[in-house]
Structure 1
Amino acid sequence: MKIVKGIFYFIWIAAIVVLLIFFIASPQSFTAENIADFLSRYNNQLMFIYIIVSLVRGLFLIPSTPFVLAGIPLFPDQPFFVFIVSLVGVAAGATMVYYMSDLLGFSKKLEEKYPSKIEKWHQRLNSPKASLIVIAWSFFPLVPTDIICYVAGIVKMPYRFLIAGVMIGEIVLIYLYVYGGMALV
């Protein structure tokens, strides 16, 4: 099991490093327009590619916003499709990040290095107000939702409260992105 974890960890880190290098070398490639352009090259498989990319982006800690915004010009007559795919992608990303915090062994390292901070977050995310914290965090567009999912995985926040908070916060945000964006297009 340790070897599999090590291989998975190496592949995951290598993929993030490659994406980060590509982002630094070519940040214009990660705009909503360029993502839409890339996806439109594969017009016959476009819906399938959009769904797959929306589902796996969470593995690489890539924010969902550019993909939601890219879906607007890609599927201008299907806002509900973009909305649903984006929500499912956010749920998949949140779930992957939540469970990866333990799978990759980061939680033990952080607990050893920052025990007081981990305890503080443990108290916050295992309190009756925990879902409200997650809802607010998920709704605020300037902070990555993946961070709260990662911390929730480390402190063992009940998954059902995490995913409910993420979905409530993201439903509003994605709705505004999709239908507001469609109105602008």
Structure 2
Amino acid sequence: MYRPGRDVELSLKQLFGMGQGRINDALDAYRSHFPEPHSDQSFMSFCKGLNAPVNQPTISAEWTPTTVAVDDLPMCLLEGEYLPIFKRIYTGKPVRNGNYDELYREFCRMRWASDSRNKGATGSTFMTMEWEPSESILEEMAEAGVDNIPFVIGEFKLFWKECGAHRANWNSILEEHISRWTKASRIS
């Protein structure tokens, strides 16, 4: 019986924001509506069609939060570079309730909390696409049975680069990611 690969599931989660339950529902619908042979590519196309926005508003590059949206935010959040990062992440993406002001407030609070926790770390850096994990992490990934290691690392780098977060030790963040993945794959 067809089951999508781990890289397909990661892409669905990251590109379409689908949770595991929604992926499983889509998989059931895909299996019942499409004859064999099933493939990762046709399943991705099927999910893309399911995920097409239906009269959901999307943010444009010109969007700015309303004054009501930013009134309750501390000034330190408004002086940062959160708005350009928010726009880069959410431009063209639909939001279920269509409330970008609320999403922006929550985004600012979460980013500020994350930045506050990690700014004091000695040697903290932003993720770049040139970053490479240590050899020990690569060995750990191979031992854990991670398929397509370059793809997983690429997704990891892209996610954290888009987030704009800075960390003192990116290897430990990747190690936590692998640990969660290993636990999730044992449960499946």
TM-score bracket for the superposition, by shorter chain length: under 0.3
TM-score (norm 1): 0.26
TM-score (norm 2): 0.26
Q: Which has the larger radius of gyration?
A: 2
